[in-house]
Amino acid sequence: MNGYFFDQAGDQRMEKQNIENWLALIRLIQKEAHTKDPQGKPSLPDKAWDILDIGCHTGGLLNLLNLMTRVASISGVEPLQYGRVKAQSLLHKSKSNFFETIQEVPDQSAHLLVSHETLYLVNDLYNWTKELKRILRPDGGAFISLGSHSENTAWLRWRNQLKNLYGHISYVHRPIEILGIGTGAGFDMELHRLHPEPHTSMRFSSPENGWGEFLSAQEALGFQKQKYVFVFYPKR
């Protein structure tokens, strides 16, 4: 594993450019927190949450959650050591913990589990989903956001660039596959759009290496419009 996901400057740019996506994810979580399940119970518990971010990088999303929600504890999973160190420094809470792998996270330790744009790096989706089941508390929920890679022709180019430039092996998981595996693992599944309306972003514009340039405005809109959030609720 490299010292940085891209390089130091690229990682800092990625964190900054993801803020709009993180805010959209938090708005969805807040909306779901005020929604009742079919039995009339809150979709998420009405108390301070133990929060875990899988693929937390340097802690940007966790920091926003810490500012915008009621937090009991903050945790993150991040394979890169520099990311864990920076996240720990940013979130210097007495009840914060950061892990190198998902297997290190204790059982039933999270009310709210989030993961933004990391699922495409997961090969074994079945066992990854079993880990979600193990970590989540029965009254909790997992919010997993992911670009519509299987429907986006530009991703075929980006996958090769990620591998050739940075050594990252990526995988394409179709939405129906993710929903099916989640249901099979015992979750009640929901599928949302991260951005309800077409939304443009500079996140995928990197002129210095060209790995993320769109061919057209239509291509950019088509990708952003279809960013997904997969919600995993343990069956109650």
The structural domains of the chain, ordered by start, are 8-149+170-201+227-234 (3.40.50.150)
At residue 219, the pLDDT reads: 55
Taking CA atoms, 73 is separated from 69, 92, 95, 113, in Å, by: 11, 11, 5, 12
d(C-alpha 125, C-alpha 47), whole Å: 31
Cα–Cα nearest to 62, from 32, 33, 98 = 98
Strands (E) in 102-184, as ranges, are 110-116, 136-146
pLDDT over 70 at 50, yes or no: yes
Cα–Cα nearest to 109, from 84, 129, 86, 138 = 138
- pLDDT single digits (tens) 74-116: 999 999 888 898 888 888 876 789 999 999 999 999 999 999 9
d(C-alpha 31, C-alpha 29), whole Å: 5
At residue 193, the pLDDT reads: 87
Counting residues of the chain whose pLDDT is more than 90, the rounded percentage is: 50
129-138 b/e with 16+ CB inside 10 Å = b? bebbbebbbe
DSSP state of 42: B
Cβ 81 vs Cβ 51: under 8 Å:
no
Cβ 111 vs Cβ 52: under 8 Å:
no
Distance of CA 85 to the CA centre of its chain: 19
pTM: 0.85
Question: Can you give the length of the chain in residues?
Answer: 236
Cα–Cα nearest to 112, from 136, 88, 91 = 136
pLDDT over 50 at 236, yes or no: yes
| Amino acid making up residue 6 | F
The torsion angles phi and psi of 77, rounded to 5 degrees, stand at -115, 125
